[in-house]
Amino acid sequence: MAEEKIKSQVVRWEAKEYIQHDKNAGWYIGLAIIGLMLVALSVWLQWWTFTAVIVLSVISLLIYVLRPARTLKYMISSKGLTEGEKVYSFENFKSFGILQDDTNFAIVLIPRKRFSPVVTVYFPKEKGEEIVDQFGARLPMEEVKLDLIDKLVRKLRI
């Protein structure tokens, strides 16, 4: 009976789409030095395609890190998780887990399909219990760990 009551509730919150880390001048100087070294190596070896890839990659990374994170509206209902205009049905996920990064909390939805990406949704601490209860009523909870790429992205503060 209590689980049915939880499933019928609608939970709404707002959160940033990703955690934006502050970067000092050393981060940008390091990116420029590494980019220039790779461009110099690719020009010396006459790898013109690789030169273009490096230049485009550095420009793309700069655009990505300089763009502020959007604040998105989230909602959990009987239809699933709604992120802005996107709806993620609970049937597409086999389980969920919780990640804590310093003071930031996130729900990680593990997809049923092998090559589907995980969905990570940040939430405010004060809404945490309500949000976890909603997911727990619909999906089993499992421990989630960061993979190698996620650890590298956090280490580089991207």
pLDDT tens digits in sequence order for the chain, 158 residues long: 566 666 668 899 999 988 888 889 999 999 999 999 999 999 999 999 999 999 999 999 999 999 998 999 999 998 899 998 999 999 999 999 999 877 889 999 999 998 888 899 999 999 999 999 999 999 999 998 888 888 888 788 77
pLDDT digits 0-9 by tens, 90-109 = 999 999 999 987 788 999 99
Q: Rounded CA gap, 53 and 61, in Å?
A: 12
